[in-house]
Structure 1
Amino acid sequence: MKYKAPFFIVLLLVFLQGNYMFGQVYARNGMVASSSKIASQVGVDILKKGGNAIDASVATAFALAVTHPSAGNIGGGGFLVFMNSSGTTTTIDFREKAPLNASPNMFLDDAGNLAKGMNLYGMESNINHIGAKSVGVPGTVAGLYLAHQKYGSLPWENLIQPAIDIAKNGFPLTWDLFNAATFFETNSPVPFLKNYFKNANGEPTQFGELWKQPELANTLTEIRDHGQDGFYKGAVAKEIVRFMKENGGLISLKDLERYTAIERKPIKGTYKGYDIYSMPPPSSGGVALIEMMNLMELANLDSIEFNSAAYVHLIAEAMRRAFADRAEHLGDSDFNLDTPLDKLTSKSFAQTRFENIDMTKASISDTTKFGQMYDGSSTTHFSVMDKEGNAVSLTYTLEHSYGSGMGAEKLGFIFNNEMGDFNPQPGFTTSSGQIGTNPNLIQPEKRMLSSMTPTIVAKDGKPYLIIGSPGGRTIINTVFQTVLNVLAYDMQVDKAIEAMKIHHQWLPDQIEYESTLLSPDTRKALEGMNHTLVPVNSLGTLMGIQLDAKNNIMIGASDSSSPDGAAIGY
């Protein structure tokens, strides 16, 4: 839950934790904002040694694989948006892939229904998120290696060594990780997680004690010494395949050897003179973000007070339309060659969507019509900027918090459960939010659709705002609202991150809202417009950097809902 801490608590935390503070951080020479203070410092140290934003991103990502295991990873995948100081932008797609032996009906029972099972939290869940079959071919190592080979400057081994040192020597177990360790030891049916946080003596690591990960250090050493081949070939790959065979997974040596990260042209949009760059499919984030920003450009926001009922209604209707189009059209563009990206991100298309927004009542989410009727829980994100003005926005994930909860003991990392991001039941779309459209059905070597939305906004041809968030499907909307807050409502990045957020994803037809940040009167007015409202504690955990070009100052901000996060600059 987001809140403003009493001033004496802020002072105490600053005193105890040195360079960490709530709110904004200012710097001239470089900035990293991530979900781990340790990882942010690793990135800044690389910048101090002459590394560029890509170098710092690689080092930060590998450090997060050690210090933020719920989402930082080498067993998952994600996306990177890179803009150099002159405004040239590209992206790296390292989303996981379906194994060669995957099939559209692989998670259905004999009656053709999506089967159920017990997840890592000891709760019943859909089988497509459970067990070794739910693991997609990981992409993180390949993606970071490609980014480094094309745009890095320091030697590869220098960027991996800090993560190895942290894993080998240990770091003080944070309160957040200690709580996770206590829960898994008591409640999880997954053996790997029950033992994951234990020390060399087989005892649970206590809060504040050094947590060492020697097996992960060994795996990272292979990656340091052999690049991406240290993961996709050799001893690590063989151990991954051995584990998959013994536990009913599908990943083979051939799957690992064939995996490639891809450099893609970014999705680009504009908003009142700003240029917005984000990820193309297989991420849906960029397309949906641009569509919603186009809709907002058509609205008279000067007459709509921030956080008013009219404001919440308008952005909810924009979200509804973008998510309906997402469900109907988006998937891996390497398999869906006719995806109408130009149409979905065009100003004219936004005009047809905007014309049918009724400012007095909610639209209806119809499972049979998708977007046609409108015509007329874990990921982590970090943002980096170097002293030359190069910028990176990177989001990567294991899917659920701690992914599948499974891992090979000898390797020390957790596998994703990203196969659950495919549409699991062909042709079956429900009002609860399960989608069955063709573009995102399971196919061998296909990348599953994602909501990750790493984004860079440019002003006058140079990086201006670097932003992103975890949060599953809520990612798109938390990034959208933060970008809107900065560009339309002239908020500084820290205020934009902490401001109230809502989420509507077409189906289920409801608005999730942060329970302490939306007034009772506004909720009552929205219900009178036929909206269904559902309270949640918090939406998004945003990490952002904004550039004050006039004063040549970077402003970094870490969402206060991230217990171990920090923006660090120098």
Structure 2
Amino acid sequence: MTLTDIRSPNVSRGRTLEKPAVKGRGGLVAAQNRQAAHVGAEVLRAGGNAVDAAVATSFALGVLEPWMNGIGGVGAMLVRPQDGPVSSIDAGARSPADLNPADFPLVEGKDGDLFGWPNVLEDRNVVGARSICIPGLVRGLGSAHARFGRMPWAELVAPAVALAADGLVVDHHVTLWVAQEMARLQRNEACAAWFLPDGYPPVPPAAVTGKVARLCSPKLSATLARIAHEGPDALYLSDLAQDLTRDVQDLGGYLSAEDMAGFEAVEAPARSEPYRGHALHYVPDLNGGVSVALAMRLCNRDHVPAGTVAAPDDIMAYAAAMAASWEHRFAELGDGAERTLPSCTTHFSVVDSEGMTVSLTLTQTLLSLFGSGVVSPSTGILLNNGVNWFDPRPGKINAIAPARKALANYSPVMLTGEEDVVAFGGSGGRKILPAVFQALARIVDFDADLECAIAAPRFDLSAPPVLVADPRFGADLLKRLAERYPVVLADRIDHPNHYTTLCGVRRKQGVNYGAAEPWHPWADAVAEGESLFPNE
């Protein structure tokens, strides 16, 4: 095998970065965006429960990190009321009923997006109106709120309405993400108008000017205001659905008003997998949870940790379990096929002061960065490219087809043990699965705390057989890995993110903890009552 080094010579070697966990007996939110986490924490302070906070955080995230998620996307949720069973709410991607697989002919090469699929003519499965699946997120949030929520729906959506009216503040992180996807954004007039003012990526003004640059979307603010006032049905059964689907069809897509009206989130008991005295809970069916669960099953069966910290043998065992799980995933999982484990699964997490725990991954997702790159001009909604989750090769188990559920990567999971509940998830396409698996394994196998489980050296094995390795593993382990896999060394940095962005909460012996990816500049955990600007 081989070892390839793609590290930047400008990244300091051996560096570490810490982002301490938040701790307390009150509720808290851990999210990929601190301002969105603060919105959720304010809901907890106002008397809302964890699901209320999750709904508010979700809508806020869609405004504050629009290239990752939003109401044009999909997602899934796990909810565990205090000492109760874990429930799942699945609002995953489903293809439109009128989708025509013949519109996606293969051409030479592989695409440069998340999955390296064989190329499709004009990238139709990745970019543009044909790549759009039914946006189920709002249906999922509505189902969760109807079953578990306590505060009025309108109050939970209101912060997102205000944030959208004000506009997204431009900082270096915004500039990086927009610049990276400039070619995609230019392909759609409404998308370019939002994210490329004057035709270029936005740049924050110098501090001495005292000015702030913002990316505004009045149409999105108006759409969110209607959803706040009229409820989740506004997006699926009103003239909003008619406007949205007309925009998509005018651009050559398949999404119809009938698709929108017929979409329902699936509520079901979570599935569970035992792991060394704990139980892993995950969303049933076609998401990353089933593959995380299989990796843990294989590791539970084939390897017993011998020490108190992760040793090379442990990392080798984790890699082997993850590789076998991917093999099963690609061969066996697809809509209409067996969706369970053989023979017998933008993220944020919330815990309230009463112990209700929510693991909600939306990453809340649009799938690729900026999704389809299509903004509905009538509604201001940036839409997903869920067709990219399907295999473009005809005849494959997860092949592109109409009215079919996609095999997605989001992996909201919970781990329960004696007086201990952990809720985890991440963003980053297929990279989510190995990241979540390794963090959970470290918590159980080596009693790692939340922040250490997230910050520890990590590998990514999401495009097997290639294994992307954190150089902090050390020369001896990297040599062993390179004897079994083609290894690429890549730095743990915020951009590009080679490993995924994790967020999690934990309730252990009555105390709540929250932690977020230290290499992501926006990710953080916020406790109820904590100020957005604590130094003021």
Give the TM-score of the pair, scaled to structure 2: 0.86
Alignment correspondent of 1:274: 278
Alignment correspondent of 2:381: 413
What percent identity do the matched residue pairs reach?
Answer: 29
**Is 2:448 aligned against 1:450?**
no
8 Å Cα contact 1:119-1:125 kept in structure 2: no
- Structure 1 letter corresponding to 2:193: N
> Structure 1's 490 and 251: CA in aligned 2 closer, same or farther, altered over 3 A?
same
1:6 and 1:523 map into 2 onto residues whose CA distance is: 18
**Is the partner of 1:473 in helix, strand or coil?**
helix
8 Å Cα contact 1:75-1:398 kept in structure 2: yes
Alignment correspondent of 1:197: 195
2:417 and 2:457 map into 1 onto residues whose CA distance is: 25
Alignment correspondent of 1:50: 47
Structure 2 unaligned blocks of 5 or more:
1-6, 206-211, 492-497, 529-536
1:116 and 1:297 map into 2 onto residues whose CA distance is: 36
Query: How many matched pairs?
Result: 498
**Is 2:476 aligned against 1:510?**
no
**Is the partner of 2:267 in helix, strand or coil?**
strand
Alignment correspondent of 1:92: 89
- Structure 2 letter corresponding to 1:71: M
8 Å Cα contact 1:287-1:344 kept in structure 2: no
For residue 146 of structure 1, the aligned residue among 143, 148, 152 is 143
- Alpha-carbon distance, 1:150 to partner: 1.0
Structure 1 unaligned blocks of 5 or more:
11-20, 346-379, 428-435
1:400 and 1:227 map into 2 onto residues whose CA distance is: 27
1:287 and 1:204 map into 2 onto residues whose CA distance is: 40
- More deviation, 286-295/68-77: 286-295
For residue 520 of structure 1, the aligned residue among 470, 475, 482 is 475
Deviations 1:144-177 (A, max 9, x none): 0111111111111010001001111235323211
**Is the partner of 1:389 in helix, strand or coil?**
coil
- Structure 2 letter corresponding to 1:189: Q
For residue 503 of structure 2, the aligned residue among 529, 532, 543 is 543
For residue 428 of structure 2, the aligned residue among 451, 463, 471 is 471
- Structure 2 letter corresponding to 1:252: S
8 Å Cα contact 2:77-2:89 kept in structure 1: yes
Deviations 1:314-351 (A, max 9, x none): 1111111111111122123xx33x44546269xxxxxx
**Is the partner of 2:82 in helix, strand or coil?**
coil
8 Å Cα contact 2:14-2:472 kept in structure 1: no
**Is the partner of 1:178 in helix, strand or coil?**
helix
1:69 and 1:236 map into 2 onto residues whose CA distance is: 19
- Alpha-carbon distance, 1:227 to partner: 1.5
Alignment correspondent of 2:317: 314
For residue 426 of structure 1, the aligned residue among 387, 394, 412 is 394
8 Å Cα contact 1:192-1:405 kept in structure 2: no
2:432 and 2:199 map into 1 onto residues whose CA distance is: 40
Alignment correspondent of 1:532: 486
1:384 and 1:262 map into 2 onto residues whose CA distance is: 21
Alignment correspondent of 1:349: none
For residue 560 of structure 1, the aligned residue among 518, 524, 531 is 518
Q: Which structure 2 residues correspond to residues 110-125 of structure 1 after superposition, within 5 A?
A: 113=107
Give the TM-score of the pair, scaled to structure 1: 0.81
2:253 and 2:259 map into 1 onto residues whose CA distance is: 12
For residue 388 of structure 1, the aligned residue among 354, 369, 374 is 354
> Structure 1's 39 and 202: CA in aligned 2 closer, same or farther, altered over 3 A?
same
- Structure 2 letter corresponding to 1:178: T
For residue 259 of structure 1, the aligned residue among 254, 260, 263 is 263
8 Å Cα contact 2:294-2:325 kept in structure 1: yes
For residue 77 of structure 1, the aligned residue among 65, 74, 78 is 74
> Structure 1's 186 and 257: CA in aligned 2 closer, same or farther, altered over 3 A?
closer
2:289 and 2:201 map into 1 onto residues whose CA distance is: 45
8 Å Cα contact 1:93-1:143 kept in structure 2: yes
- Structure 2 letter corresponding to 1:512: V
Q: Which structure 2 residues correspond to residues 223-262 of structure 1 after superposition, within 5 A?
A: 223-262=227-266
> Structure 1's 3 and 481: CA in aligned 2 closer, same or farther, altered over 3 A?
farther
- Structure 1 letter corresponding to 2:280: I
Alignment correspondent of 2:156: 159
1:202 and 1:421 map into 2 onto residues whose CA distance is: 30
**Is the partner of 2:58 in helix, strand or coil?**
helix
